[in-house]
């Protein structure tokens, strides 16, 4: 194994993916404000740059120059760590999400040296392909809850603590439905590797075989992101802003980045698992991947603009009494059908 080459190519891939991702996060905020504006018959931000296109820059500058306030009773270390954990946990899943097929030939000749690029998925359009890709996503995804719960606790504020506890209960409940809804996909693909799952969807995307799984996945992902029908964690009329109440400046900005990165990650994961990932005719794979992902991001925003908020008991009842049994039924039916056909 050519270690320097592996590190160099990996760092390059990470740099590209992170740059694109951070830009996407910034512009998803603008997209949300614009789309919500149109849904509510307003213009949305339209002062900075043409059509408001430079608004993310203005937002970031404003956040950076705001006073960075730490409440006196707060636990200093955990108060700083919480936004970092939230943002980090939202960015980590992109390590195994394939955004294209092979981007390089398996072997290149470089000044007479033959370099094998098949090691460590160097020629693949993914930062790192691993045989536990999906489990990795769920492992790092489950860490996001620490950001909220620690932020809520460290702020030393009742609203923050209640918001953190709410998010914690919500995420733990919906993680079950989320995890079980993708098992049908794993059974169809016969692998946990995200690259293999995309390759298994060459002829038909899995949404055709797993419509119920896709619906459950999207609802649970919306709850995991704490988005509007499920945004009880920052329910303004009850909890001020939930665990974010005491945060200001770039620390709050990190929470926001985490939230939007989480939405993009959920959309990218749904694209990978159900919509065939980067596969599609004519257009280059990256374009297909981005188009599918942003269609789902738009769906997230659309839902936020048009649905009212649940009550907390409704949220818990939906998670445990509807989504969980339905996802179990989905697994059972998928297993039975696979057995009948392949049997």
Binding residues (CB under 8 A) for other proteins: these are: 78, 130-132, 135-136, 138-140, 142-143, 145-146, 149-150, 152-153, 161, 164-165, 168-169, 171-172, 175, 192
Nearest by Cα to 97 from 27, 14, 176, 2: 14
CA dihedral 119, 121, 127, 129 (to 10 degrees): -110
Tell me phi and psi for residue 93, to 5 degrees: -55, -25
Q: Output 135 or 212, the one with its CB closest to other proteins.
A: 135
The least CB distance from residue 19 to other proteins, in Å, is: 27
Distance of alpha carbon 335 from its chain centroid, rounded?
28
Distance of alpha carbon 74 from its chain centroid, rounded?
29
The least CB distance from residue 126 to other proteins, in Å, is: 16
Q: Output 150 or 263, the one with its CB closest to other proteins.
A: 150
The least CB distance from residue 82 to other proteins, in Å, is: 12
CA distance 292 to 307: 22
Q: Output 10 or 130, the one with its CB closest to other proteins.
A: 130
Q: What is the DSSP letter of 73?
A: T
Tally the C-alpha atoms within 13 A of residue 132's C-alpha that lie toward its C-beta.
5
Q: What is the DSSP letter of 2?
A: -
Q: Output 136 or 289, the one with its CB closest to other proteins.
A: 136
The least CB distance from residue 236 to other proteins, in Å, is: 22
At 107 the three-state DSSP class reads: strand
Q: Output 134 or 275, the one with its CB closest to other proteins.
A: 134
Neighbours of 54 (CB within 10 A): 14
The least CB distance from residue 132 to other proteins, in Å, is: 5
């Amino acid at each position: 194994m050519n270690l320097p080459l592996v590190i160099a190519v990996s760092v390059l891939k990470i740099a590209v993916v992170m740059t694109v991702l951070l830009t996407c996060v910034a512009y998803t905020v603008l997209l949300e404000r614009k789309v919500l504006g149109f849904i509510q018959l307003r213009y949305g931000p339209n002062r900075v740059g043409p059509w408001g296109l430079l608004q993310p820059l203005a937002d970031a500058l404003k956040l950076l120059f705001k006073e960075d306030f730490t409440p006196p009773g707060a636990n200093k270390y955990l108060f700083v760590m919480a936004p970092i954990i939230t943002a980090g946990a939202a960015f980590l899943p992109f390590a195994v999400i394939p955004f294209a097929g092979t981007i390089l030939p398996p072997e290149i000749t470089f000044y007479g040296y033959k370099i094998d690029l098949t090691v460590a998925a160097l020629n693949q359009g993914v930062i790192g392909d691993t045989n536990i890709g999906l489990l990795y996503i769920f492992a790092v995804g489950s860490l996001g809850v620490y950001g909220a719960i620690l932020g809520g606790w460290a702020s030393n504020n009742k609203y923050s603590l209640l918001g953190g506890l709410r998010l914690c209960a919500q995420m733990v409940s919906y993680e079950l439905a989320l995890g079980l809804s993708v098992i049908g996909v794993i059974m169809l693909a016969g692998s946990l590797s995200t690259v293999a799952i995309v390759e298994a969807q060459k002829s038909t995307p899995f949404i055709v075989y797993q419509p119920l799984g896709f619906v459950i996945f999207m609802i649970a992902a919306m709850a995991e992101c704490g988005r509007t029908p499920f945004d009880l964690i920052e329910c303004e009329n009850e909890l001020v802003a939930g665990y974010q109440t005491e945060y200001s400046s770039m620390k709050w900005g990190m929470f926001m980045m985490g939230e939007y990165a989480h939405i993009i990650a959920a959309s990218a994961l749904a694209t990978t698992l159900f919509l065939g990932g980067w596969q599609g005719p004519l257009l280059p794979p990256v374009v297909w991947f981005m188009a599918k992902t942003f269609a789902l991001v738009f769906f997230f925003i659309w839902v936020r603009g048009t649905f009212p908020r649940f009550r907390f008991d409704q949220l818990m009842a939906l998670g445990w009494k509807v989504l969980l049994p339905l996802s179990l039924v989905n697994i059972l039916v998928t297993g039975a059908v696979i057995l009948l056909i392949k049997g």
